Structure 1
Amino acid sequence: MDLDTVIVGGGQAGLALGYHLRRAGLPFTILDVHARVGDAWRHRWDSLTLFTPRRFSALPGLPFPGDPDGHPGKDEVADYLAAYAALFDLPVRLGCRVTSVRPGAAGGFTVDTSTGTLYAPRVVVAAGAYHTPRIPDVAGKLSPRVAQLHSSRYRRPDQLPGHDVLVAGGGNTGVQIAAELADDGRRVVLAAPTLGPVLPQRWLGRDIFWWFSRLGTMRLSAESRLGRRTAARNPVIGTDVAGLLRRVDRVGRVVDAAGDELLLADGGRRRVDAVVWATGFRPHYPWLEVPVLDASGAPVQRAGVTDRTGLYFLGLPWQRARGSAVLGWVGRDAEALAGRLAQERLAAPARPAPAVPA
């Protein structure tokens, strides 16, 4: 197969790039480990609803169906992505796990997968930034009697036994899960030493993302001074945090554990039946055998471009701008990258070796 680009990841970033590469007439394939397009969304917690209304949740070329001012649930997003791939006939190889991306013997890259080996002069890693759950070491000190879930495995309150639940993490995910558990009648402790700025879902009769769009907030450059300041303080959007804090007990950071008790930074102790670790993720690219990662495993890139010719990233938070990892804005980065790939092909056309049959 004569491929120009291999895209690793069939989520919104990979699909948006595929749309623009298709329009540019470049041959490519998208590799995705899931059984269906959109499964990464289907596997998130049941009540998850986007902050962004449908009018600001679309990929290039296809409006998001439904009330443009309403907020879609996670299954709607998954179905939209599947419909998007089908409408534009994007070549997504499902159930295809990438096991290695390494320099090719004759230049370019060799991509080993669970279904065979491919070669291409260009590889775009569009697998997102939410790979491996970050769980603190103290989790290993808790008694087996205490149920523990990372937020990526949380689906609904009935997964958690008992009455006393601690949610660790003060980002959007942490406060949303804490609110849902409080609604379920649990006694909730929110371990959140800091909370970002709290923004309402609507302001002066308009959705907050309408204001973001009008003010250019989502296009705020990652390299600007204001961009760097904004990136350091991720806002909590749409949750009544003041009301939540009247219903839950907010404490500081968890620093240790013993038996069924968690020890807090202020010296307090909390006995719990369950813990939800809403503590984020760490980058994890064990299959990427090209020296483009820093000591923490994060990509070393600028606007998605690495020092390795032909290797790119797409869909990382704040890759180019505030909206780089957001469904309704990732298409801007995808269009810019597709234009770069098209220019490279014109400047130095390459004839990749054919795929090795599985």
Structure 2
Amino acid sequence: MSSDVSDSGCGPLRTNVLVIGAGQAGLAAANELKKAGVDYLLVDAAAAVGDSWRQRYETLTLFTPRSISSLPGLPLPGDTEGYATKDEFAAYLARYAKVGGHRIETGTRISALRRKHGVFEAVSSDGRIYAAPAVIVATGPFSVPRVPAMVNEFPDGIQQIHVSDFWNAESVAEGTVLLVGDGASGRDAALALAASHRVLLARGRPRKLFPERILGQSTWWWLKRLGLLGAKPDSIIGRRMRRIDPFPNRGNDDATLVRKNVVLMPRLVSVDGCHAVFADGSREAPQAVVWAAGYRDEFDWIKIEGAVDAEGRLLHQEGVSPVPGLYFVGRPWQRNRASALIAGAGDDAAFVVGTLMHSVRSRYKTSKLLR
């Protein structure tokens, strides 16, 4: 793979645009940078492109059908109405990187991002330094597993794992298993365990699942056709969608769970010895607990004033940071409903890279980022 990235010996490795993250968002950004004629480099913490998908639970498939799950320039092969498996999509990302000829340094986790005299310095966990006048952060949303404080209240003899470490039924000790959290991953894990374990699923807020098909068409087709995937975060429909946060019903609704012998429980409220205590006062003694309480962002590695607020949230407007030269791709509701989906990665990347190039051309009559 060709690149004009320069290495100044013992000094930092220099490039014009550093893209942090080589998943679908980072690769979409790389595609736009290549079209714009900009020198760039991607770095990713995983050992290989697509590993963030390969390492997730065995039965995982994409939320969206193949028809809207491709990145620009390379269709995702297979039945357009079907759903790609995690391994299939991981292989697709690896192929996208290869076909695009993108320079990627894998196994490179960025532990600190700073800005000095208008230049960003990204420091990897092994001490390497990457310098660039512009950075696109494409690390994906909610990368750190969220586990409530109750994890410390269960005795040591009870197995506890986060759903991010769940692979299949063999990942979990025999006997009764408690799933805490009934989002898509919690429901999928419950179904995967139901044939071999007694499964309790502790639910949280009411969930809205939408049907897979409406009038013979994929619901996602309707969402795209009606413009709902383009709903802005602060629009009336956008605010409603964010509040409800529905996900597709693909055989993981309450009725199916019950039919598969999953026991639906109310919210987990406390732990009493080896017993889990639920909101209705009922008690159960599980042999294993799988926490499916979601994920959270962690951006304390971005050590730039004005980039992150006091609560650790990224500050940006449609992916454009108030810090000159800093951009984001792949944030939930970054520009619209599609932003957190593969379907929105290409459009958001095009907007961000277009904004980056406009900023460069406004500052320099002859762009320093152009070849």
**Interval containing the TM-score (normalised by the shorter chain):** over 0.9
Q: Any gaps of 5 or more consecutive residues in structure 2?
A: 1-5, 7-13
Q: Once the two structures are superposed, what CA deviation does each residue of 1:53-111 show, in whole Å capped at 9, x if it has no partner?
A: 1111100111001122221100011000000010011111111121211012x212111
8 Å Cα contact 1:175/1:239 also seen in 2? no
Instruction: Tell whether 2:209 aligns with 1:198.
Output: yes
The percentage of counterpart residues that share the same residue type is 37
Confirm whether residue 111 of structure 1 aligns to residue 122 of structure 2. Answer: yes
AA of the residue aligned to 2:229 = M
One-letter identity of the residue aligned with 2:173: P
Tell me what 2:11 maps to: none
Give per-residue Cα distances to partners, 1:98-143, cap 9 Å, x unaligned.
1211012x21211112362122111111101122111010111101
User: What pairs with 1:150-189 in structure 2 (closer than 5 Å)?
Assistant: 150-182=162-194, 184-189=195-200
1:234-280 deviations in whole A, cap 9, x for unaligned?
A: 21312341221343222222122133211122222111011111101
Q: Which residue matches 2:266? A: 252
Q: Partner of 2:318 in structure 1?
A: 303
Aligned-partner Cα distance in 2 for 1:212–1:226: 12
Residue 94 (structure 2) aligns with: 82
Distance (whole Å) between structure 2 residues aligned to residue 107 and residue 236 of structure 1: 42
1:343 match: 358
* Residues 11 and 38, structure 1, Cα contact 8 Å, conserved in 2: yes
CA–CA separation in structure 1 for the residues paired with 2:308 and 2:186: 28
- Of 146, 150, 156, which aligns to 1:138? 150
Q: How many residues were matched structurally?
A: 350
Following the alignment from structure 1 to structure 2, what is the Cα–Cα distance between the partners of residues 328 and 118?
30
Q: Which residue in 2 is equivalent to 1:276?
A: 290
Structure 2: how far apart are the matches of 1:118 and 1:185?
A: 49
**For 1:17-56, what aligned pairs fall within 5 Å after superposition?**
17-56=29-68
What are the Cα deviations for residues 177-220 of structure 1, in whole angstroms up to 9, with x where unaligned? 112222x2322111113232111222222222111121112111
- Take 2:157 and 2:137, find their aligned partners in 1: how far apart are those partners? 40
Aligned mates of 1:293, 1:265 — CA distance in 2:
36
1:120 corresponds to which residue? 132
- State the Cα distance separating 1:351 from its structure 2 match: 4.8
Letter paired with 1:26: V
Q: Look up the equivalent residue of 2:212 and give its one-letter code.
A: Q
Distance 1:190 1:248, change over 3 A: same
Aligned to 2:348: 333
Q: Which has the higher contact order (CA 8 A, sep 6+)?
A: 1
Residue 23 (structure 2) aligns with: 11
Partners in 2 of 1:295 and 1:139 — Cα distance?
26
Q: Contact 1:167–1:174 at 8 Å: present in 2 too?
A: yes
| 2:229 aligned to which of 207, 213, 218 | 218
RMSD: 1.6
Aligned partners of 2:309 and 2:74: how far apart in 1? Answer: 37
CA distance in 1 between counterparts of 2:167 and 2:214 reads 30
> In 2, distance between residues paired with 1:49 and 1:260?
34
Structure 2 residue 277 is matched with structure 1 residue 263: yes
TM (normalized to structure 2)?
0.90
Stretch of structure 1 that moved more, 199-208 or 160-169: 199-208
Deviation at 1:51, TM superposition (A): 2.2
Structure 1: runs of 5+ lacking an equivalent: 353-358
